[in-house]
Amino acid sequence: MSKMKPSPISPLAPKKFPKLPPIAGVSFGVAATHSYYKGRDDLLFMAFPQGTKCAGLTTRSSMPSAAVEWCRAHLPQGQARALLVNAGNANAYTGKAGAKHAESLAKTAAHVLPCPLEAVFMASTGVIGKSLNLPPLTRAISKLEPKLSAKADWQKAAQAIMTTDTFPKMATCKVKLGKAEVTLNGIAKGSGMVAPNMATMLAFFFTDATLPPSVLRILLRDAMPSSFHAITIDGDTSTSDTILFFATGQTHHGAPIRGAKDARLRGFRKALHALMHDLAQQIVRDGEGISKFITVKITGAKSNLSARQIALSIANSPLVKTAIAGADANWGRVIMAIGKSGEPTNRERLKLRIGGISIVRRGAVLANYNERPVARHMQGRHILIEADIGLGKGCAEIWTSDLTHDYIRINADYRS
């Protein structure tokens, strides 16, 4: 059982939470199973109508959780009828028993709905290596089924999947698709063990649009580089990262859309990207112990990949992150992080700006460099670091949090 004291809400939490509207065809409920947490919901059970299509992306960890493997096995069919998410236990590194537990969860949902087993998707987040306490979960699934409702509160869904998160992450929009207007809802969780290529991060998207799995997959994938792949909290990548996108097909918008290049998708594509961007930034805003939101922009690198590696070298550097936590305009540590990246750089060509203020030229600090406006920028909640490498056209943008006493407090106490 967790002895974790809840953290105060992040200073970078949104001031207002959006009210998510219903999505035609989506009904859900939440429950407190008491299997890990006390006194809070920790299970989300969602049901979708026949014909719901889905696509998804999962962690690049070589130690994937049982839920991740379950999803991978069934994503190719692209048919979804249910989503189960439990918080507190990741069911990761739990061997054959863990795989059986995942199957039991799916079987329970498939039995009570009823629906085909392979149409049940799931995600588990929490402690790694601990056997799932199955009976409270299966009991809760059975009890929830009659109560699943299209009018249920989406904020409760976003809260039920939280672990060390300090606020629920939600986003929504309406967009024209062909002849109709459709709705897009997204919920996510993530706070630590968050690094590019999927983090301890779950995100689920829902729409009433009618789209085949192949289109859902391409739309998701195309929006990743400037959303969930652009964030890092601590450079640690989870065993359980999962993004799933469900389209219930309850709204018809003219002739079927068969490919991602269909011109009618333009607005929808933008809307999905905006939602993903918003939720990815919300995850950083809730980065464990965050006091400042940091944007690292690299231009002029040899390639986009090289720019990304340089940006990550800065964003994951403990010395850069602690300097920012201390509101210290210590740009020398950014130089250090660029120098250690292993990427092609040139000391004399590098340009560095913090808070929009130029700092270096020809391998040294500018003669007229005035630290005062940079120091003032460092006092704020949003820190902008921009480096132009001066070697090519590669660019990248990464968002991260600072490294504070609260990160240590949260992570030296979490679990036992």
Find the binding residues for a second copy in span 350-379 (CB under 8 A). 360, 362-365, 375
CA distance 282 to 269: 20
**Closer residue to a second copy (CB): 5 or 151:** 5
Query: Does 200 participate in catalysis according to the annotation?
Result: yes
Helix (H, G, I), strand (E, B) or coil at 126: strand
Q: What does each C-alpha distance from 56 to 121, 227, 392, 410 come to in angstroms?
A: 10, 15, 34, 30
Q: Rounded CA gap, 322 and 44, in Å?
A: 36
Nearest-approach distance from CB 11 to a second copy, in angstroms: 16
Closest approach of Cβ 326 to a second copy, in Å? 3
Calpha distance 192→43 (Å, rounded): 20
Catalytic pick among 183, 200, 237, 345: 200
The H-or-E segment that residue 46 falls in is strand 43-47
Among positions 53-112, residues that touch a second copy (CB under 8 A) are 60-64, 90, 92-98
Can you read off the two tokens belonging to residue 119? 């149409």
Binders of a second copy among residues 225 to 244 (CB under 8 A) are 234-239
Give the residue from 193, 399, 233 showing the smallest Cα distance to 311: 399
# binding residues, a second copy (CB under 8 A): 72
Q: What is the DSSP string of 216-227?
A: HHHHHHHHSTTT
Binding residues for a second copy restricted to 256-315, rule: CB under 8 A: none
Residue 125 binding a second copy, by CB under 8 A: no
Nearest to 119 by CA among 282, 246, 307, 303: 246
Single out the residue of 135, 254, 259, 318 in contact with a second copy (rule: CB under 8 A).
318
What is the closest distance, in whole angstroms, from the C-beta atom of residue 227 to a second copy in the complex? 20
Name residues contacting a second copy, limited to 182-221 (CB under 8 A).
192-193, 195
Q: Which is nearer to a second copy, 270 or 415 (CB)?
A: 415
Which residue lies nearer to a second copy by CB, 218 or 319?
Answer: 319
Q: How far is the CB of 90 from a second copy (least distance, A)?
A: 8
